[in-house]
Structure 1
Amino acid sequence: MPSAVLDGTVLESLVSAAVTAPSIHNTQPWRFRLDPDTVTLEIRAAADRGLHHIDPSGRALHLSVGSAVFNLRVAVAHFGWEPVTRLLPRPDRPDLLATVRLADTARAPAFPGLYDALWRRHSSRFPFSDRRLPRAVLTELTDAAHTEGALLYRPAPVDRDRLLRLTREAEHRTTADSARAAESRRWVHEPGDSALGLPPGTLGPQDFRERVPMRDFGAHRHPDVLAARPFEKRPLIAVLTTAHDRRTDWLRAGQALEHVLLVATAHGVRASLLHQALEWPDLREQLASSTPDPRTHPQMLIRLGYGPEGPPSPRRTAGRVLDGFLSRSAVGAP
């Protein structure tokens, strides 16, 4: 229902919706600030929660923030405003990654069904069934990525197997790299006051066939006691790519990723992200060579299917990510 005044309750709902977005290792690398004069929400990078060994360029951080931007757009539209989004609006402020202004009442309903889906979406790192996705759903997922300026394609079986081999190679490298493995381990812990990182129960088992290379987060458990179960025999892998590889492209890719994931959630489709090979420049180049157009830049591998929902990861509250937040205070009208 449209809201005439952006009060504290609605502001809290908007930011809470934004932070349900996925982020690498659940680092939640974002901060929000409201400019009450223009009724604009600023989204800034929280550089202190970047992964400096795994993500030295900050590409995955930008994807994470882009996903939160998309959720914010969905929530703004849900409450009846038009989300006017700008990426990297201030070159003199590189930490300011995006702004979303709450413009006049939206002319038509936007993102139908996605606001409900964003509260239910989370990664499932568990085995899926071999049930195939309907063609109509696959088309919707492709269209969702295209709407945000990205491409989503399903590789042929031979290319899919090569992508999985590259992902498995990246997983082995990360486990053997002491700095990267330690960085991953630091983000696996029981929920505490920070509400950051991944509780062990969200990680799921490994594939005993070693076909689907699920991240083991730096061998946080001894390999001899890793739980193993059979995963799907023919995993459905989708590759998200962009035509360029600039910071704006990373942010667009993050929005496309979340759009795809929310459409999947709305259809009861589970997803997990296979990012490992994208963390090694040479392996990322090899991923690109397996795409229909090797000039494009792979941004994410998405595993899709039907299976268990999996437990959610914790999220920080709006009050902890929104600067100057005063619950239930009136802010003004757009």
Structure 2
Amino acid sequence: MNGYDDADLRAAAEAGIRAPSMHNSQPWRFRMRDGAIEILADPARRLRTADRSGWAVRMACGAATFNARLALAVRGRPAEVSLLPHTAKPETLARLDPGPDRPPASAERELFAAIPHRHSNRSPFRPDPVPPAARKQLIEAARDEGAWLDLLVGMTALTGFAQIATSAERVLRRDAGYQAELAAWTHADGAPDGVPAEAGAPLPQPYDLLPQRIFGDRPRPAGVDYEPEPLVGILGVAGDLPIDHLTAGQALQKLLLTATSAGLSASMMSQPVEVVAARDQLRRSLGRSGFPQMTLRIGFGEPVGPASRRGVDDVLDARESPQSA
């Protein structure tokens, strides 16, 4: 069985950089080592205030790992995935070793085709309900990657979640360092990273059910409510160790690509997960033994453009020789 080559590495990285990350910080790097492809955290891109623990970096790199897996699979060179293979090197988060060559499955082709069309959509979604069949697909996508997805049903559950999320947002808005970091990652169009101001949600109103991060000052049309009854999903896994965050990141990306393939839009609301007290309250409200790792809005949205990405050459590391291992 031959190792991966430079063309495989580049294809994996091209797909990997399309993964989501907090504030579009893109905290990943890709490297070839002994015929395998490694996904590494980029410590220079970790959000020092919002992500003190490195949770968001691991989620992002897990999502990038899933995209890289798809890219290799559609090339007929599927990967065997190891998470945290080098415990002595905490920046190395995942390793993709070549598995037996085989033609790609139709599901892999479909998810890979969705990668360039998956964009966070922070604008209000249409009131059309997400069909039961699509909801089932989303739940199964998370389960396939070792996670669970709870879709909130009914206004009682939704209102309870909204109270938790709003409380978490208030905590974060009172944190001057957090808000300064958010502003630093809000850019004008053309920047290779961060969130374009125009890609943010319209300015919130006091009567909105769910909180939104403020990335810009886009006004809302008069008389327009912001999703009075949105579909909210809560993604979680059994544990809360670094390897669990990587697992959750892979599940998140499969869920997002499955949604994209079904014609759905999504955006992430991590505030209830970032604030420890809010996450504990959310966990108790679900009656789950596992740990929530992300919350999402899911629905039918108007098309939005992609956020910018750095070039592939900016995220490729030089090969590591066996002697440096």
TM > 0.5: yes
* Contact 1:201–1:311 (8 Å) recurs in 2: no
**In structure 1, which of residues 10, 13, 25 is the aligned counterpart of residue 11 of structure 2?**
13
Rounded Cα–Cα distance in structure 2 between residues aligned with 1:12 and 1:73: 12
* Contact 1:86–1:100 (8 Å) recurs in 2: yes
- Matched with 1:272 is 267
* Contact 2:3–2:98 (8 Å) recurs in 1: no
User: By how many angstroms is 1:72 displaced?
Assistant: 0.5
User: By how many angstroms is 1:107 displaced?
Assistant: 6.1
2:117 corresponds to 1:123: no
Q: Which amino acid aligns with 2:117?
A: R
**In structure 2, which of residues 146, 170, 186 is the aligned counterpart of residue 188 of structure 1?**
186
User: By how many angstroms is 1:170 displaced?
Assistant: 1.7
- Matched with 2:29 is 31
2:56 corresponds to 1:60: yes
2:246 corresponds to 1:254: no
User: By how many angstroms is 1:296 displaced?
Assistant: 1.4
Q: Deviations over 1:214-272 (max 9, x none)?
A: 1114xx65xxx754642222100011011111111100000000000000000110000
> Could you tell which deviates more after superposition, 97-106 or 265-274?
97-106
CA separation of 1:306 and 1:207: change in aligned 2, threshold 3 A? farther
TM-score, normalised by the number of residues in structure 2: 0.91
Rounded Cα–Cα distance in structure 2 between residues aligned with 1:268 and 1:45: 31
- Matched with 2:276 is 281
Rounded Cα–Cα distance in structure 2 between residues aligned with 1:283 and 1:7: 45
Structure 2 unaligned blocks of 5 or more: 320-325
> Could you tell which deviates more after superposition, 52-61 or 184-193?
184-193
Q: Which amino acid aligns with 1:198?
A: V
Structure 1 unaligned blocks of 5 or more: 326-334
2:285 corresponds to 1:290: yes
Q: Deviations over 1:16-54 (max 9, x none)?
A: 11110000000000011112x32x111111111111211
- Matched with 1:91 is 87
- Matched with 1:166 is 164
User: By how many angstroms is 1:138 displaced?
Assistant: 0.7
2:132 corresponds to 1:138: no
**In structure 1, which of residues 171, 176, 179 is the aligned counterpart of residue 177 of structure 2?**
179
Q: Which amino acid aligns with 1:206?
A: L
Match of 1:146, SS state, is helix
CA separation of 1:7 and 1:94: change in aligned 2, threshold 3 A? closer
TM-score, normalised by the number of residues in structure 1: 0.88
- Matched with 1:319 is 313
* Contact 1:125–1:202 (8 Å) recurs in 2: yes
Rounded Cα–Cα distance in structure 1 between residues aligned with 2:42 and 2:275: 23
Q: Which amino acid aligns with 2:141?
A: A
User: By how many angstroms is 1:6 displaced?
Assistant: 5.7
* Contact 2:4–2:37 (8 Å) recurs in 1: no
User: By how many angstroms is 1:87 displaced?
Assistant: 0.3
Q: Which amino acid aligns with 2:311?
A: T
Rounded Cα–Cα distance in structure 2 between residues aligned with 1:15 and 1:44: 11
Rounded Cα–Cα distance in structure 2 between residues aligned with 1:311 and 1:201: 10
Match of 1:74, SS state, is helix
Rounded Cα–Cα distance in structure 1 between residues aligned with 2:128 and 2:220: 24
- Matched with 2:226 is 231
Rounded Cα–Cα distance in structure 2 between residues aligned with 1:192 and 1:134: 37
- Matched with 2:303 is 309
User: By how many angstroms is 1:202 displaced?
Assistant: 1.1
User: By how many angstroms is 1:7 displaced?
Assistant: 5.6
Q: Deviations over 1:146-181 (max 9, x none)?
A: 010000011233122111222122222222210110
Number of matched pairs: 313
* Contact 1:273–1:300 (8 Å) recurs in 2: yes
Q: Which amino acid aligns with 1:216?
A: I
Q: Deviations over 1:53-90 (max 9, x none)?
A: 11111111111110000001111101101211100001
Rounded Cα–Cα distance in structure 2 between residues aligned with 1:94 and 1:203: 33
- Matched with 1:240 is 235
**In structure 1, which of residues 74, 79, 94 is the aligned counterpart of residue 75 of structure 2?**
79
* Sequence identity (%): 35
* Contact 1:33–1:43 (8 Å) recurs in 2: yes
Q: Deviations over 1:86-108 (max 9, x none)?
A: 00001100110001123231366
